[in-house]
Amino acid sequence: MRKMEQLFIGGKWVKPSSGDVIEVIDAGDESLLGTVPVAKKAEVDKAVRAARQALGKWADTPVAVRAELLEKAANNLKARGSEIAEVISREVGMPLKMSQRIQAALPVIVMDSCAKVLREFPFEVQIANSRVFRVPKGVVVAITPWNYPLHQLVGKVAPALAAGCTVVAKPASEAPLSAFMLAEALEAAWFPPGVFNLLSGNGPETANLLVQHDDVDMISFTGSTSTGTKIAATAAATAKRVTLELGGKSPSLVLDDADFPKALRTTVNNCFLNSGQTCNALTRLLVPRNRLTEVEELVLPLVAGMTLGDPGDPNTKLGPLVSARQRDRVRQYIKEAIQAGTRLLIGGDAPPEGLSRGFYVRPTVFTDVDPGAVIAQEEVFGPVLCIIGYRDLEEAVAIANGTPYGLAAAVWSADTDRALQVARRIRAGQIDINGAPFNALAPFGGFKHSGYGRELGVFGLEEFLEPLSIQLSA
């Protein structure tokens, strides 16, 4: 069991004023995986003060030095990759083999790419008689979710530090352990004291104290739309800068000339990645109505072959959800959809056989779903796919755009130019064509209720910078 007893504040590991702790539960067997302390107002004030005191000197640190420190921290994370993967697999439920490739490896890629972007970024430009500087926004609070705990944290911390900001990080209470490993990696890379601070705690308490703090300049939040909008409203009272990466209900639009087996296989794998606990998961499969039966026949064996079980078992393809609360929430969505008459192709809300402990949900597919149904409109955040038929391209695009969200999408066609034309009509922040791979340098973020602001690459770095314009006389 991992028992974290201290918080990282001002370059030191500090014992909190309260003895309150948060229990971290193993998603696979419900055992106690570890504990972390709860930061109270005293620790929040101390961490923000440390970040404020470190800001000036860190902002003046040469770009090459900041980039070198990020690269050292990335190497430190890489050296602990196996340990990170195992911890996150047990916290979140992602199968270990997949956790090694995603939960542990992706943060290293992102941090390294951030260092590369930093070295090449133009912090100063001349526009006529004006010299425009890009300066750090200041003290940043990073509040992150539990589904990709280290990746989401690094996606905020790395560009913020690269920009010259200082950071107070608050990880999700369900999966906080890898955040302590990040703090250790940054400490071992010799980042100056106060540049990065880590506070674990409860969202309603610790996070609210940070969002309301007068000496915080910016909030970067990833999580649910409901929580994100509340944070934005609270931050507005003190004119804080805010970026939000929120929910999604992403469509995978398969056009009539697409490679159906490839499109369906990729969509299913994407939808059920991390047991559906992915904000940009392709949870709506849009197909020509006259091929609905063919699609069902192709999807059914793909989902039936997803072995549900212990994340540590190499044969497991689908692990548990993160918590009992999340499991019950997802099962309720499934139950209500069945009660509403939505046709169930496979799965359901019944507990899976042979898995009496752990937060498991059967991989579930609904078919011939009404685009306006609750199950097709709201973010379930579990292993649930909706197959939706469309009559023509205009209806398909309307369905793709017909939810409050706009985080991601996919388009499939034998004609790349046609797919590109369709993709540009979809209101989503990141769209894949024919299964294109993830790009750690491309901007990631959403339209509509999926939030605002972007992460990753140059766009992610710019979120933490303000333009400062100085006019020069002739």
Compute the average pLDDT of residues 9-14. 98
Q: Which of 43, 245, 379, 463 is catalytic?
A: 245
pLDDT tens digits, residue range 205-251?
999 999 999 999 999 999 999 999 999 999 999 999 999 999 999 99
- Per residue in 359-405, pLDDT (tens digit) is 999 999 999 999 999 999 999 999 999 999 999 999 999 999 999 99
Give residue 358's identity as a one-letter amino acid code.
G
| 258 pLDDT more than 90 | yes
Q: How far are the Cα atoms of 133, 178, 283, 286, 440 from residue 252, in angstroms, in the given order?
A: 41, 32, 8, 6, 21
Q: What is the 8-class DSSP label of residue 323? A: -
* pLDDT reported for residue 160: 98
In the residue annotation, 245 being an active-site residue is answered as yes
Whether the per-residue pLDDT at 20 is higher than 80: the answer is yes
CATH architecture for the domain at 250-439: 3-Layer(aba) Sandwich (3.40)
Domain residue spans in the chain? 2-246+450-471, 250-439
Res 453 pLDDT > 90: yes
Which pLDDT does position 23 carry in this prediction? Answer: 97
For the residues 166-185, what does the mean pLDDT come to? 98
Residue 156 has pLDDT above 90, yes or no: yes
Cα–Cα distance between 264 and 451 in angstroms, integer? 28
3-state SS of 345-412?
Answer: EECCCCCCCCCCCCCCCCCEEEECCCCCCHHHHCCCCCCEEEEEEECCHHHHHHHHCCCCEECEEEEE
**pLDDT computed for residue 77 by the predictor:** 98
474 pLDDT more than 80: no
Give the per-residue pLDDT at 1.
Answer: 85
pTM beyond 0.75, yes or no: yes
**pLDDT (0 to 100) of residue 436:** 96
pLDDT tens profile 48-93? 999 999 999 999 999 999 999 999 999 999 999 999 999 999 999 9
Q: Is 418 exposed, middle or buried (0-12, 13-18, 19+ CB in 10 A)?
A: middle
As a whole number, mean pLDDT of residues 154-171 equals 98
279 as an active site residue: the answer is yes
Distance CA(220)–CA(210), nearest Å, equals 11
pLDDT grade for 204, boundaries at 50, 70 and 90: confident
Quick check: 203 pLDDT over 90? no
Rounded Cα–Cα distance for residues 112 and 89 (Å):
23
Cβ 281 vs Cβ 320: under 8 Å: no
Q: Rounded to an integer, what distance in angstroms lies between the CA atom of residue 47 and that of residue 207?
A: 13
Strands (E), 62-138: 124-127, 130-136
In this predicted structure, the answer to whether residue 98 has a pLDDT above a threshold of 90 is yes
* CA–CA gap between residue 126 and residue 116 (Å, rounded): 23
Distance CA 103, CA 99 (A): 5
DSSP letter at 191 equals P
Q: How confident is the model at residue 437 (pLDDT cuts 50, 70, 90)?
A: very high
User: To the nearest whole percent, how much of the chain has pLDDT over 70?
Assistant: 100
Could you give the CA distance from residue 461 to residue 456 in angstroms, rounded to a whole number?
7
CA torsion 186→158→225→46, rounded to 10°? 50
284-299: pLDDT as tens digits: 999 999 999 999 999 9
Which residues touch 277 (CB under 8 Å, ≥6 apart)? 92, 93, 147, 321, 322, 326, 381, 382
The mean pLDDT of the chain is 97
- Alpha-carbon gap, residue 271 to 248, rounded angstroms: 12
The pLDDT of residue 311 is: 96
Q: What is the percentage of the chain residues whose pLDDT exceeds 90?
A: 99
Residue range 2-246+450-471, CATH number: 3.40.605.10
- Torsion 163-165-170-176 (CA) sign: positive
The whole-angstrom separation of Cα 117 and Cα 134 is: 14
From 114, 165, 279, 386, active-site residue = 279
